[in-house]
Amino acid sequence: MTQAYFEPLGQDEGWERFRATEHTVSAWGPELQHGAPPSALLTRAMERVEGAEGTRISRIAMDILGPVPLGELRTRARVVRPGKRIELVESELEAGGRNVARSSAWRLRTSDTETVEQTVEPRRELPDKDMDSSFFTQWTSGYIDSLQIRGAADGTVWARPRYPLVAGETVTPVVQVMCIADIANGVGAVLDPARWRFLNTDLVTHLHRLPRGEWIGVRANASIGPDGVGTTSGTLFDESGEIGNTLQSLLIEAV
């Protein structure tokens, strides 16, 4: 088994080609990918698009257009709204001749605001010992098993991937976050996965600060409506404190 989420297969007319490995497998089905690896791959593509100097990604919005299968897929990205201070980038993920996911990202020009830095959430401590949360012990999959997990008493789950996103590459800080951010749906779950499916159709991630280090903390809560629709909202941390927030739409179905 390749010790990465994706194997690079080269380029083809502006597309980058990859093969998804078993480490991407979702708990919802053995032939499907978890949302985190595709969202990270789309983010990687957007980060690599040339644009204005001195900018960084501040928001990533991914839409899952259909089941993301294992096997071969390809990505590409482009700047759709150029600018010196603010620009919009888009990427798409294709498998079997169809688009299965897409992302957009705002890239903002950076400047020194360290003297006025502040966040809403307090700093949280990274636990010393690995420990699966009670939720994740109910499920197993290639992706979940690929994570090193630590649970905290305050309900925050800390995680980091055991493998690189793409074989032979070191991930950037933004991609590191996106390798983890989609687990908010699981961390904030309020329904029994043996009785209910709660599939997220998107993932919106805002980052007011880039993470420092490999560990990403996720604290999340789900709200379930009366008509089969829900949402999960989450807060992201590193060992220095809060770094951003996530929001996901949920399709709720009885098993």
User: What CATH number does the domain containing 50 carry?
Assistant: 2.40.160.210
Within-domain flag for 115? no
Within-domain flag for 121? no
When divided into structural domains, the chain yields a total of 1
Give the pLDDT of the chain (255 residues) as one tens digit per residue.
679 999 999 999 899 999 999 999 998 888 999 999 999 999 999 999 998 899 999 999 999 999 999 999 999 999 999 999 999 999 999 999 999 999 999 999 999 999 999 999 888 999 988 876 565 677 778 999 999 999 887 889 999 999 999 999 999 999 999 999 999 999 999 999 889 999 999 999 999 999 999 999 999 999 999 999 999 999 999 999 999 999 999 999 999
pTM of the model: 0.94
Within-domain flag for 231? yes
Q: Identify the domain containing residue 236 by its residue range.
A: 6-109+129-254
- Where does the chain show beta strands of DSSP type E? 6-12, 15-20, 25-26, 29-33, 55-64, 71-81, 86-95, 98-109, 147-151, 157-161, 196-200, 202-207, 216-224, 229-238, 241-254
Within-domain flag for 1? no
Within-domain flag for 146? yes
Within-domain flag for 124? no
Burial class (CB in 10 A: 0-12, 13-18, 19+), 164: middle
Within-domain flag for 16? yes
Within-domain flag for 241? yes
